[in-house]
Structure 1
């Protein structure tokens, strides 16, 4: 080891005491401490759009579950139901986080499709259903990746939640890819 590697860092890791004191005020804000700064409204908007996407995905998967037909349809339809339930759980997590951030989750059916990143699908052919769901999962993956980058360290709790959802969306896409062509 050289003397250079033993030198003390020029920058110290210290908490912002002013921010700590400010956190003891405005108790009605719940989790929203001053460090959330100007990003809360943008994060709530991103989350509401993700909520719309998840809800549209639930509806698409449910429709495909109930209408899938063909030799391989029972196994694939059962997976559609599993995916629908997992997408519903994602929607619940997102809605809960929106409320924690002091926002209001937007479940308005009239605007769901317009706010969703993914599309609804009413295909009748099993392979078309799988393809539509794979497209939607890939869109969700891209949207979550972008949101994770945008949020970065501005809201670590939301970022971690989105990373968990992203991991499941990637699993869904991998399964759907395997069913194409069967």
Structure 2
């Protein structure tokens, strides 16, 4: 449809006015104990919590991997790379905190249990001792995280805009991490 075919209002003739769903606004008066979970998100809340707990596990595994690499990195370039590993570990921990807070807002329980952590995580843990292998393992994990966040964003889409924005913010950081690690590998 081109703009010339639109009526003077700028909308197609079949489009109704933009109005809020007043019945939905009235339904939010029910179930006040549900907090941020309103009727519109209610059908999706459990699935979103499950996705977020998978992301939480991934972030926790990434924190552990980055910290291990920070403390065990050796070699000529190790001090600078190890410092970057700690920066990434702290950023991943902040992601985990944000995910856990959102899980609670949605009425769920963040799963911090170490039991099954690797099974819930999208990324793996690594015990490499040489710097290049550490960089590769972290880059691989970041690439996995980027893909997982992209998929979660598509799944959540308009079902939960708040969670979608959170995931988009974290995705931006994960892409930055991947770029930084790729640059370090080239040195």
Corresponding position of 1:138: 143
TM-score, structure 2 normalization: 0.94
Please report how far the alpha carbon of residue 24 of structure 1 lies from its aligned counterpart in structure 2 after TM superposition: 1.3
The CA RMSD over aligned residues, in Å, is 1.3
Q: Confirm or deny: 8 A CA contact 1:51 1:94 kept in the other structure.
A: yes
41, 59, 70: which one aligns with 2:64: 59
Q: Deviations over 1:141-178 (max 9, x none)?
A: 00000000000000000000000000000000000000
**Bigger mean CA deviation after superposition, 168-177 or 13-22:** 13-22
Corresponding residue of 2:100:
95
Aligned CA distance change for structure 1 residues 84 and 2 (closer, same or farther; 3 Å): closer
1:19-70 residue CA offsets vs partner (Å, 9 max, x unmatched): 0000111111101110113111100000000000000000000000000000
Q: What secondary structure sits across from 1:6 in the alignment?
A: coil
Aligned counterpart in structure 2 of residue 34 of structure 1, from 11, 14, 39 = 39
> Counterpart of 1:175 in 2: which secondary structure?
helix
1:152 paired residue number:
157
Kindly tell me: are residues 38 and 4 of structure 1, through their superposed partners in 2, closer, same or farther at Cα, counting changes over 3 Å? Answer: closer
- 1:86 pairs with 2:91: yes
Number of residues of Structure 1 aligned to a counterpart in Structure 2: 182
Match of 1:49 in 2: 54
Q: CA deviation at 1:131?
A: 0.2
TM-score normalised per structure 1: 0.96
CA pair 102-6 structure 1, distance change in 2 beyond 3 A = same
Contact 1:52 1:116 (C-alpha < 8 Å) held by counterparts: yes
Q: Structure 1 residues 48-57 or 2-11, which shifts more?
A: 2-11
Q: Distance in 2 between matches of 1:101 and 1:24?
A: 17
Change (3 A) 1:23 1:78: same
* Cα separation, partners in 2 of 1:108 and 1:6, compared to 1, 3 Å: same
Q: Which runs of 5+ in 2 are unaligned?
A: none
